[in-house]
Structure 1
Amino acid sequence: MTDVLTPDPEAPRAVAAAGPQAAAEPLGAGGWKRWLLIGIPYLWLLALFLAPFAIVLKISLSQTTIAQPPYEPVLDLAAGWQGLVDFVSGLHLENYSILFEDEIYVASYLSSLKIAAISTLLALLIAYPMAYGMARAPRSIRPTLLMAVILPFWTSLLIRVYAWIGILNPDGLLNAFLMWTGAISEPLYIMNTETAVYIGIVYSYLPFMVLPLYSSLEKLDETLLEAAADLGSPPWRAFWQITVPLSLPGVVAGCFLVFIPAVGEFVIPDLLGGSETLMIGKTLYNEFFLNRDWPVSSAIAVLLLLVLVVPIAIYNNVQAKELGGKA
């Protein structure tokens, strides 16, 4: 055993004699694998995000025309340098100015942000007790509870939203049950209102809030709560001062996962909200498919992406600085 643990005094001399080239060989041998591992995700993002975004951005700077495609200018590579000059000179920002001048677009953005924010808050209020109960449940039944949360994903979102139409209609299951119990004397009109949109969004995206919260709460060190109880802290104070702060990463992740897709939601407001519910997803659809105004619809999409990405980038930058300061 002593021979194994005793360092060889000749080892450093051997490494020094071999020189830095020998020490760098293992790193160089696996370098291409490391670059390949890093490069594949970036190529995926380049092909499926950055390239389509560049196309949409270019269309948003174009002008609507009755042609195929329904915008101009179109880049003519055969014209060479002059074709490139004509293409760049034809781009303009008029479509973005239209978005701020027309009240319907501003109202669509504000309404989408409001509906997404309220839906995210409701989802958080419902998901936190669920995740907390799952994290405190016996370990033997936690996989079953997780399966129950994930189970709705096995059915198409469109089918689940259509099911809510049968539930929320004036002659649907909800009104039939409430009238049977005597809670109401006449049907409630929930369909084609913002209330129905809130119900649909919260139901559809609730698992995205529960799972990050459960992941944070399940890792919570219970000895911290025991120490707080030993020091005389009541359960409610220990919850607010220990459990809630330690679960904030799950809260932030869940809010992002619900808020971001809810802002651009189209299916739920279209099926449950009716014609009076104004959201940017419906406005984008109408401009693209009904009005055939590709430049304006592309400008709507670009501005929506900026509205969502910029705050997230700022938050990530602040978080990185805080982590760097703590280190």
Structure 2
Amino acid sequence: MRTKLISAPYTIWMTLFIIVPMGLVAFFAFTDKSGAFTLDNIARVGQYSNVFLRSIWLGALATFISLLLGYPLAYTIAKAAPNRQSFLILLIMLPMWMNFLLRTYAWMSLLEDNGLINNMLAAVGLPRIHMINTAGAVVLGMVYNYIPYMILPIYSVLTKIDNSVIEAAQDLGANNRNVFLKVVLPMSMPGVISGVTMVFVPAVSTFIISKMLGGGGNLLIGDLIDMQFLGSAYNPNLGSAISLVLMVIILICMGIMNQFDDGENVGGGMIL
């Protein structure tokens, strides 16, 4: 009885904010405007396959870049002195204290044709570069906004690796390269998989970043869903169908990534 009382708030929360919304999405996806059952909405999603492919490609690219940049940063922080680690983590999290829209607006002013970066290039005699309203600007915005979600789980796992394990590998004749490749990297995979998931999921479904930095020529799934619910092409049934298909794609991607995590290396790299 006591267990049921303790779990009751969580059950109510999940019912109201997870199960009910997902049920409504499924209901609208398989019905028309009159409420009759139909598969036309799901069939129409295929018309936007190019948008899905673009979103997955840009989301995967942003995730890959975040991993390339985030892993060395997380490793450096984990190897720093304990009294410096908290300060370095604070620097990583500091931009997240600012509003998401303000951070994106800041990048707009930096990347514009007459923005700070191009003005600096012109000041030193270099030609201006068109950066705003491009796919590269969208990827840059994704990496900047989501890279902390890559660094933090990897750092959390790296700090839990016992130094005695590394010392044992060194005592057995492993050099620094082999210690990293055969000990540290495999043991940090739970954090890597968690970070990849936490970056890829919001990146593939974003709409603010693509709208502000990508312009109208870089339409992503999030923009498409936003248009169906809030834009001039108001069609919540089609928007729900697109959302449902996106949810299935994300679940499949997460299932594939989970196959690379045996869950036996180091605790703390939980897949969300």
TM over 0.5: yes
Residue 38 (structure 1) aligns with:
7
The 1:41–1:313 alpha-carbon spacing in structure 2 relative to 1, beyond 3 Å, is farther
Choose from 299, 303, 307 the match for 2:241: 299
Residue-by-residue CA offset, 1:243-262 (whole Å, 9 max, x unaligned): 10010000000000000011
Matches of 2:199 and 2:22, distance apart in 1: 22
Distance 2:261 2:180 in 1: 24
Which residues of 2 match residues 1-327 of structure 1 at below 5 A? 32-63=1-32, 71-73=33-35, 90-100=36-46, 102=47, 105-182=48-125, 185-288=126-229, 289-313=231-255
Write the distance in 2 (CA, Å) between the matches of 1:197 and 1:208. Answer: 17
TM-fit CA distance, 1:317 = 8.2
Q: Conserved in 2, the CA contact under 8 Å of 1:120 and 1:202? A: yes
> Structure 2 CA distance, aligned partners of 1:180 and 1:223?
53
Mapped partners of 2:213, 2:260: distance in 1: 38
Greater relative CO (CA pairs within 8 A, separation 6+): 2
Distance 1:196 1:263 in 2: 15
**Shift in CA distance, 132/61, structure 1 to aligned 2, threshold 3 Å:** same
Q: CA RMSD in A?
A: 1.8
| TM-score w.r.t. length of structure 1 | 0.76
> Per-residue CA shift, 1:213-243, capped at 9, x if unaligned?
1001111112222222222222111111111
After TM superposition, give the deviation of residue 178 of structure 1 in Å.
Answer: 3.0
Equivalent residue number for residue 85 of structure 1? none
Identity of aligned residues (%): 32
Distance, in Å, in 1 between the alignment partners of 2:121 and 2:256 is 47
For the pair shown, the structure with the greater C-alpha radius of gyration is 1
**In the alignment, is the contact (CA less than 8 A) between 2:189 and 2:261 conserved in 1?**
no
CA distance in structure 1 between the partners assigned to 2:222 and 2:18 by the alignment: 19
Matches of 1:93 and 1:280, distance apart in 2 = 20
Deviation digits for residues 32-90 of structure 1, max 9, x if unmatched?
Answer: 22122233222211111111111121111222xxxxxxx212xxxxxxxxxxxxxxxx2
Q: Is the 8 A contact 1:107 1:278 kept in 2?
A: no
In 1, the alpha carbon distance for the partners of 2:129 and 2:256 equals 43
1:115 CA drift (Å): 0.6
Q: Which consecutive unaligned segments of at least 5 residues does structure 2 have?
A: 265-272
Q: Give the distance between the partners of 2:157 and 2:124, measured in 1 at CA.
A: 40
Aligned length: 263
CA shift at 1:279, angstroms?
A: 0.8
> Which consecutive residues of structure 1, in runs of 5 or more, have no partner in the other structure?
1-31, 64-70, 74-89
State the distance in 1 between where 2:255 and 2:3 align.
26
Judged with a 3 Å threshold, the aligned counterparts in structure 2 of structure 1 residues 37 and 214 are, in CA distance, closer, same or farther, namely same
SS in 2 for 1:140: helix
2:219 & 2:152 partners in 1: Cα distance?
A: 30
Q: Is the 8 A contact 1:168 1:174 kept in 2?
A: yes
Q: 1:293: how far off?
A: 1.3
Cα distance in 1, alignment partners of residues 174 and 221 from structure 2: 47
Match of 1:79 in 2: none
Q: State the alpha-carbon separation in 1 of the partners of residues 12 and 113 from structure 2.
A: 51
**Contact 2:193–2:257 at 8 Å: present in 1 too?**
no
- Residues 209 and 257 in structure 1, CA contact (< 8 A), matched pair in contact too: yes
Q: Report the 3-state secondary structure (helix = DSSP H, G, I; strand = E; otherwise coil) of the residue aligned with 1:275.
A: helix
- 1:319: how far off? 6.0
Q: TM-score, normalised by structure 2?
A: 0.91
In structure 1, the residue corresponding to 2:144 is in which secondary structure? helix
